[in-house]
Structure 1
Amino acid sequence: MVDLNKLLFDKTKFSLMAGPCSIESEEHFQKTATYVKEAGAQILRGGIYKLRTSKDSFQGLGLEAYELANKVRKNMDMPFVTEITDPRQTSALAEVTDIFQVGSRNMYNYDLLKELSLGDKPVLLKRGFSATVDEWVKAAEYVEANGTAKALLCERGIRSFDNTTRNVLDLASVAYLKQHTHYPVIVDPSHATGRRDLIIPMSLAAVAAGADGLIVETHPTPENAMSDGFQSLNPEEFRELTEKLKGILKLFNRELF
């Protein structure tokens, strides 16, 4: 398995986290993990729990996904990142995940942030969709309060009056954070745009803005995905993304680990 600390916190490296919005089955997750690793992703993502706007939407497999996620993670020898939605999940999820993700809705969940600060796993902290940069940074300070857990900031788009895209990707905040804070900054072009056709161009723009990595949704057949298929790259598109990333990263003296 890659040296996670070096990958996430070495400024010459660029991290690529990829996988499905939700883990749907072992076969589905294994298939996705295989092609994302072959294409160049170093970290596997996949939702075990999903916080959804509608109670009727797929909420994730939950406990059922723990064993299969860990099996695929070990098979592929890849670090795994997944969202934690409740402090009570911490000890169980810590057995199967290498990076905790705190979603946009939970950026203000200070009890959760305090709980994660007691551990030693990196925490990918997504920006609240209505949060200021200052509020976001202060939330990260909760994560690092005990000196053991390290925070990574994830720009995933902010809410706007415009409905052309799902959210508005705030690349100015990426450049600002790189100049004024010590935190690595990861960009989520999938949630920021909500459009498969914009993921690649906005990923390249994120590199130019100074991002330290990307977290991208991909699915073997997005049209059949149980969640977020409209913002998930298919395997061919994902390979196109990684090839273009390799090219632009050279201009900034960075590389996929």
Structure 2
Amino acid sequence: MKTMTKMLSAVASCATVALMVAGCSSSPVNSESSPKVAPSSTHEQWVQDARVRLDGQGSRYFPKVSREEALDAEWARIESAYASQGRTAPEKPDSPAEVKDDQGAWVRCMHDDGWSDTDVSSEGIVTRGEFSLSKPLEWSVSEYGCSAKFTLLGEMPNERQASDFWQFQKDVVIPCLEKQGVTIAGFPSEEEYLDRYFSDGSLELASAYATGDVQQRLLEGKLECRVLPEGWDYSV
């Protein structure tokens, strides 16, 4: 069984901000007119966080970063993950000066590295099989290297846009899945969802909280539910 990754991880899978720390090619809907999200109890923490800023209305956002900064931040995250397991990260993959956004090439690159169970849906959602999930550190290195070659950076959604994404999952995706017999358990509250997003840069899909083969059925079109709002386009 395959599982979808988190949406948007700051440079590597644009579908999981560490869609990798700085974002993938994305065109989030314009939600500047949406109701302002009230600051959470973690206000001081995210104000002090170097990656997070506040706009004039007190809403959080990720500042724009250069491609080099994003790649450096992602590699530092990978090295930290290796260190936490008492391991040394391998040599950092090269990053070409000029990059062409090419989703197909990204998938082929991952397959060439041995991750044949990794793919991308038509909506730009990365899926991983049991093999790649069993070796998350090694997979993240390949993801970094392939993304450095074939992924362009976009802007990370701000707090209002991330709130819209959560609302879509809550009001549209979950009811649609449940209507087709799928059970969703543990999907976070809006406050928890947004805090998590500004902590690790990941926008999660409600379908990730379903049991069984829901992810694969969505990818194969066996469940007639959109997982992304109109106008959102995350591609690796």
Specify if TM > 0.5.
no
Length-normalised TM-score, structure 2 = 0.29
Flag the structure with larger Rg. 2
Q: Which has the larger share of helix?
A: 1
Greater relative contact order, per chain length (Cα 8 Å cut-off, separation 6+):
2
TM-score (norm 1): 0.27
Report which of the two has the higher share of strand.
1
